Amino acid sequence: MEACYKISRALQSVRKLKPLVHHITNYVTANDCANITLAIGASPVMAADICEVRDMVSHANSLVINLGTLDSRTVESMIEAGKRANELNIPVILDPVGAGATPYRTKIAREIIDTIEVAVVRGNLSEIKALYGIDIQTKGVDSSENLSGDEDVPSYLKVFAMDFANQFHTVVSITGKMDIITDGKRLYIVKNGHEMLSRITGTGCMCTSLIGSYLGAETNSIDGALAGVATMGIAGEIGYNRLDKDEGTGSLKVKILDVIYHLSVKDILKWGKIYEV
C-alpha cells in the first residue's frame, strides 16, 4: 500500500510541475509516446537532429532515449544529448529496444550505457539480458522469453536484476507479464496489466515515456520507474475491463490514454498490485 501512495504522490507532482520530456525516439511510436506524455500531465518534445539536441535537452526536465528505429544518424544525437543531460543533472531513461536482435543494436545500447549516466533502463527480459552480456535470441524487437503472470518471480531473476542495477549503477525495469523494478537494494514486483497489451505496438515505449514524465517531475529514479511501470499496467487493466465485447486492440489503446488522463489516487489504491520484496 505504501508503494501505491508513492505513485499517487508522484502523479500529483507530474500534474503540478508539467515537466518537459525530451524524446529521441523511434518513428513507429513517436505519436503514441507524445500522447501518453500529454495524458499523464507532462509535455513532450521530439527533437533528434544533432544540430539542436544539446540546446533542446538543456530546456528539458528529463531525456528519453529509445532505440526502436535505430539509425546511424541519431546515435550521435543520443550520445550528445545524454552527455549534456548528465552535465545538467537531467535524468536519462534508456529503452534498449531490440537489444540482442543484431550485433549493431546491442553494441549501440551498450555504448550508450557505458558512455552516459543512465537513471533508468526499461526493457523486456531479452533486451536486459542482451545488455548485460548474456547471449539471447529475439523475435525481431520482441522478447523471446517472458515472466509468467501465474507464478512468483524466480529467485535467480531477482538476483540478476539486482546485479544488473548494481553493475551499471542504474535502476532497471524489466517489463512483461510481471514487472521487476530494482535499484540493486530495493526490489518491487508489479502484477498489473493484461496480455492484450502485447498485441499493441508501442506499449513498452509508452511505458518508458511515463517513466520519463515521472522522473522529470523530480521523482527519484526507483520511485519514478515504479510509478511509470505501474501506471501503464493499471491503465491497461482498467482499459481492458472497459472494453465492449466487439472492441479490440484499437479501442484498448484509446482507453489506455483515457484512463491515464483521468487516473486518480483512488484508481491506484484500488487496482495497484505492487509488492516490495
Rounded to 5 degrees, what angle do the CA atoms 144, 3, 190 make?
Answer: 15
Q: Are 33 and 54 in contact (CB under 8 A)?
A: no
End-to-end CA distance of the chain: 13
The annotation places the binding site for substrate at 46, 202
Q: What are the grid coordinates assigned to 230, written together?
A: 505501474
The annotation places the binding site at 46, 122, 175, 202
Q: What are the grid coordinates assigned to 156, written together?
A: 535467480
The annotation places the binding site for ATP at 122, 175
Considering only CA atoms, give the Rg of the chain: 17
**Cα gap 99→106, rounded to integer Å:** 5
What are the DSSP calls for 70-103, one per residue? --HHHHHHHHHHHHHHHHTT--EEEE-TTBTTBH
105-138: string of b/e by CB count within 10 Å (b at 16+)? bbebbbebbeebebbbbbbbbbbbbbbbeeebeb
